[in-house]
Amino acid sequence: MWLAHSPDSINRADRFLVAGVALLGASLVAVNPTTAGPPNVERRAVKLTAGEQDWTQVLTTAQDNLTNLESEAATANSGLSSALSTELSGFETQISTAFTGVESGLQNSISGGWYGSDDGYVFGLFPGSVTGPDGVETGSTLQEISTALDQGNALSAFSYFDTWSLETVDHTLKPLLSPLLDETSKGATTLSIPAELSQTFTNVLEDFGNYNELKALGDALLAPELSAAFGLSNDLDGIATDLSSGDSTLALSDFSNLSSDLTGDLLNGWTDPYAGTGEAFTGLLNTGSLLEELLVTWPDQLATALSESTAASASSLLSSL
């Protein structure tokens, strides 16, 4: 598909042979040319159209590509940083809420208490006040246990202790484990941190682990070498044409431009002069390059995966309210 760009009748292998032999004897051909070539100005115009580059062009294009790449990478990095910040902020909120819940549970367990429809008023170990449907009541579990024992009612004393113990565990252990365990409430599930990380990992795999992404990576890895190879082939075709027409001076000039041409093809890509599309093969710096994949495309995709995970978590949280 890519090789069908030269209209010359001489096949590529013969041209390479002609170019190699003729370049070795270029000085002899220059002294005694056998045929007259076309005027240099016309040939030079064709060569420029065919992609000849000088060092100024190469460096200017490379600088432009680097500037664009830097700008796009900065935007992608900003988006990724924002997505990471949002994701980590959600984890931080869950952990902070857990510690707040544990602290409140321990405080109520010591001096305070809870009200529940199953157990009614449950007081802390030491005197504290609890608000329920009957208003504010004050008491302590130690006092209740002491009173029951004074009355010789060991079963009631144990019941007070058992209820206090269960409420303490429920109001401290549950908040402590909430960042690690999914919680289902009102028909909706609030995802834990491991579940959110798992969802994020799944999103990343879906975005990165597919054929199109692997193909794009393969193209980015192979294209610069192919760009330089096609550019070299095209330049050797031109040199062979120069020599076959007897224009050894132009052949030597074209040969001297090989270094800048190949550098430009490797960095900025190679444009097929016969395709008529003006679209360059991928080099190291232009659109579709490996650097763009690493610095722009992948951060964008990772930010998208993180955002999808955060959005799913937020939707789950709202549904549970």
pLDDT in tens, 139-161: 999 999 999 999 999 999 999 99
Same domain for 158 and 212, yes or no, is no
Same domain for 77 and 100, yes or no, is no
pLDDT in tens, 176-224: 998 988 877 666 667 788 888 888 888 888 888 888 888 888 888 999 9
Q: Is residue 89 part of a domain?
A: no
Same domain for 117 and 251, yes or no, is no
Same domain for 77 and 101, yes or no, is no
Question: Confidence class of residue 308 from pLDDT cuts 50, 70 and 90?
Answer: confident
In this prediction, residue 279 carries a pLDDT of 65
Same domain for 296 and 238, yes or no, is yes
Q: Is residue 62 part of a domain?
A: yes
Question: Confidence class of residue 22 from pLDDT cuts 50, 70 and 90?
Answer: very low
Same domain for 265 and 208, yes or no, is yes
Task: Domain count for the chain, please give it.
Answer: 2
pTM (2 d.p.): 0.60
Q: What are phi and psi of 32, to 5 degrees?
A: -135, 70
Same domain for 101 and 250, yes or no, is no
Same domain for 149 and 240, yes or no, is no
Same domain for 280 and 225, yes or no, is yes
Q: Is residue 20 part of a domain?
A: no
> Which range marks the domain in which residue 68 is found?
38-83+203-320
Q: Is residue 8 part of a domain?
A: no
Q: Is residue 243 part of a domain?
A: yes
- Examine the fold and report which residue of 153, 186, 219 is the final residue of a domain before the chain moves on: 186
Over the chain, what HEC string results?
A: CCCCCCCCCCCHHHHHHHHHHHHHCHHHHHHCCCCCCCCHHHHHHHHHHCCCCCHHHHHHHHHHHHHHHHHHHHHHHHHHHHHHHHHHHHHHHHHHHHHHHHHHHHHHHHECEEEECCCEEEECCECEEEEECCEEEEECHHHHHHHHHHCCCHHHHHHHHHHHHHHHHHHHHHHHHCCCCCEEECCEEECCHHHHHHHHHHHHHHHHCCHHHHHHHHHHHHHHHHHHHHHHHHHHHHHHHHHHCCCHHHHHHHHHCHHHHHHHHHHHCCECCCCCCCCECCCCCCCCCHHHHHHHHHHHHHHHHHHHHHHHHHHHHHHHC
- Examine the fold and report which residue of 159, 186, 213 is the final residue of a domain before the chain moves on: 186
In this prediction, residue 11 carries a pLDDT of 43
**Residue 183 forms beta bridges with which residues?**
190
pLDDT in tens, 43-61: 333 344 345 678 999 999 9
Same domain for 101 and 247, yes or no, is no
Q: Is residue 149 part of a domain?
A: yes
